[in-house]
Amino acid sequence: MKKNISINLQGLIFHIEDDGYEVLSRYLQEVKAHFASYQGHEEIVADIEGRIAELFTARTSSSKQVITLTDVEAMMAKMGRVSDFATEPDEEEEPAPTAGGTFEPNGPFGPKGAFGPEGTFGKEGPFGPKGPFATGQPTADGQPRRLYRDLAHRKVAGVCAGLAQYFMVNPLVVRLAFLALVLLPNVVGGFDRFPGTGLFHHHFDLGGLAVIAYIVLWIVLPKRDDAPTPIDTLDLGGSLAGRKLFRDIDAGKVGGVAAGLAHYFRTDIVLVRVIFLLGAFLTFGSTIIIYIILWIVVPEARTMSEKMQMRGDAVTLSGIDNNLRSNAFEADGTTPAGSRSVGTFLEGAARGAQPAVNFVGTLIRWAAAAVLITMGASSLIGVLGFAGAALGIISSESVIHTDNNFRFGDESFNSVMHNAQPWGIVAATLLAGIPALALILLGVRLVLRRSVLGRTGGLLLLALWVLGLVGTAMAGGQIFRDTRTRATYTTTRRLAPVPGPGIVLDSRNMEDFMERTRFSLTPADSGAAPYVEEEYQARGRTQNSARLTAQQSILYTVSQQDSTITFDQGITLRENAPYRGQKLHLTLHLPLGKTYRLMPLFI
């Protein structure tokens, strides 16, 4: 008596004897593994299964209902083993030309030469189609290769994920590199405490640069929602000849990281472990952190083909067979327990920590959003307040109180603003306000994780900003023309003669003035009355208009009471007069032979 197993091949049920089943299922596994890299491999395998079903049907009848090992072997002889399929024309494999000279295996066009499949510019080399610097060839999803933000697999804004897609590496590599750039200078900065090494001394804030680069890329890169699944192994562009980094939990002591690395770099596992342990002592545990990170990010080799990729074995009949035999105990899912109990425990803990890791990502996103919104909002309020005051919509008092940057007095602020046309102010507001608004939108978008502004909205903002730029430039040009030349208007103010022996020079305290008056003193004849030479200066489009402005727009008083002469502290402008860089220079002609007393305010 024999035990039967019933199987289903392409919708047909077969009863198959136990031993035959073993062989058949191993055969189908081989076939699947062999065709896994082919286009349309599901269909090929389905076709083969269909053919097997057909062959089996032909071998059953009402008197023989069960498929035996003999039937399976006959089928395999007919279908062929995986190793026989090698005669199948293989698109992936372009055997190198074998003529002499440069086409020799080690010549430039041979398999190992620069242009051969394994060379620098070959298929697997760094500049080849599969290498990290290849350009132009289609990516995993057949689209031309370009740099974008990968929103489908992002942690923050998809910049790292997009870079990983571009360079065809695991996004994790990019993220780790980025984090290392941000954190490392600060962490290793501590080594400066060991005097004399100077090894980790750094002058650049690499971390800051990396963050800025990230933000710049965030802004300039186009986004993409439908990016292909990122590479999830640490196979760096095939440069390590098809081996992929997995954790080898069979050989591992803790999490299989060291064993996996040993497979990957084709070194002895003991060497890797020694490096890890020595490193842990020498670098204060940093290799332990690296270990934990690798543990989290590197997948464990579960399936047969993953285990073979890990070891770099070719996925062939003999390879699979060897693996099946050497790992027979694995088929029932038992782990070689004992040595890995620590690992199992830690692994469970790591799985539990996954939500926390995600939470940290969210936290970073929200913090960035808060910073962006605060920055944007405060500058937007400043810009709008300034504009409102300049246009006279709100009183400049409130601006002075809301924003400390504009410590103008009431009067001078208005006169400065009289220079500008209203449209110029609007333009400047757009120029400064739109970036502030963009910061806010970026922050909001970060929180909502979706675009706030459509494409049209974005273009509209950009157009308005360009308009603001042009307008500001034109207004600036106008102001420049209006203040091109400088002219002086001179007049003399005669004062009454002072009878007494002394003269007091005082200054009138003013709340608000445009520009402090400059004085110079010159002696005059002892008997004469003091007089003041006043030089009014202003800028203007022409000499004449500048002189006219100097003459008409400046208010300044000098008063005399007995022996006290009081000067204004500074000049003010007539109401609604534009600011044209008005200045006043006074030359005091004072008679000799008098005693002068200067009041503190005058000095």
Partner 1 sequence: MKLENTQVQMRKGILEFCILEIIGRGEAYASDMLEELTAARMIVVEGTLYPLLTRLKNAALLDYVWKESTSGPPRKYYTLTVAGRQFLEELRQTWEEMALSVGIIRQPPRPA
Q: How far is the CB of 233 from partner 1 (least distance, A)?
A: 26
Q: How far is the CB of 46 from partner 1 (least distance, A)?
A: 9
Q: Could you give the CA distance from residue 580 to residue 482 in angstroms, rounded to a whole number? A: 8
DSSP states of 24-85: HHHHHHHHHHHHTTSTTHHHHHHHHHHHHHHHHHHH--SS--EE-HHHHHHHHHHH--GGGG
Q: Could you give the CA distance from residue 204 to residue 185 in angstroms, rounded to a whole number? A: 9
Beta-bridged to residue 491, according to DSSP, are: 534
The nearer residue to partner 1, 28 or 184, going by C-beta atoms, is 28
Task: Return the CA Rg of the chain.
Answer: 42
Following CA atoms 374, 379, 380, 386 in sequence, which dihedral angle do they give, to the nearest 10 degrees?
150
Q: How far is the CB of 44 from partner 1 (least distance, A)?
A: 5
The nearer residue to partner 1, 80 or 477, going by C-beta atoms, is 80
Q: Could you give the CA distance from residue 373 to residue 362 in angstroms, rounded to a whole number? A: 16
The nearer residue to partner 1, 56 or 579, going by C-beta atoms, is 56
The nearer residue to partner 1, 87 or 456, going by C-beta atoms, is 87
DSSP-derived 3-state class of residue 596: strand
Q: How far is the CB of 7 from partner 1 (least distance, A)?
A: 13
The nearer residue to partner 1, 47 or 575, going by C-beta atoms, is 47
Residue 503 CB neighbours (<10 A) = 20
Instruction: Supply φ then ψ for residue 326, to 5 degrees.
Output: -75, -20
Q: How far is the CB of 21 from partner 1 (least distance, A)?
A: 19
Q: Could you give the CA distance from residue 92 to residue 38 in angstroms, rounded to a whole number? A: 9
Q: How far is the CB of 140 from partner 1 (least distance, A)?
A: 18
Decide: 571 and 409 in contact? Cβ < 8 Å. Answer: no
The nearer residue to partner 1, 11 or 101, going by C-beta atoms, is 11
Q: How far is the CB of 291 from partner 1 (least distance, A)?
A: 42
Q: Is 452 exposed, middle or buried (0-12, 13-18, 19+ CB in 10 A)?
A: middle
Please give the residue ranges that form the binding site for partner 1 (CB under 8 A): 9-12, 31, 35, 38-40, 43-44, 47-48, 50-51, 53-54, 57-58, 78-82, 84-89, 91, 95, 98
Following CA atoms 252, 257, 262, 268 in sequence, which dihedral angle do they give, to the nearest 10 degrees?
-50
The nearer residue to partner 1, 98 or 354, going by C-beta atoms, is 98
The nearer residue to partner 1, 141 or 225, going by C-beta atoms, is 141
Q: How far is the CB of 335 from partner 1 (least distance, A)?
A: 35
Which of left, alpha, beta for 585 (phi over 0: left; psi -120 to 50: alpha)?
beta
Residue 316 CB neighbours (<10 A) = 18
Q: How far is the CB of 41 from partner 1 (least distance, A)?
A: 8
The nearer residue to partner 1, 8 or 559, going by C-beta atoms, is 8
Q: Where are the beta strands (DSSP E) in 481-530?
A: 485-494, 502-508, 515-516, 518-524
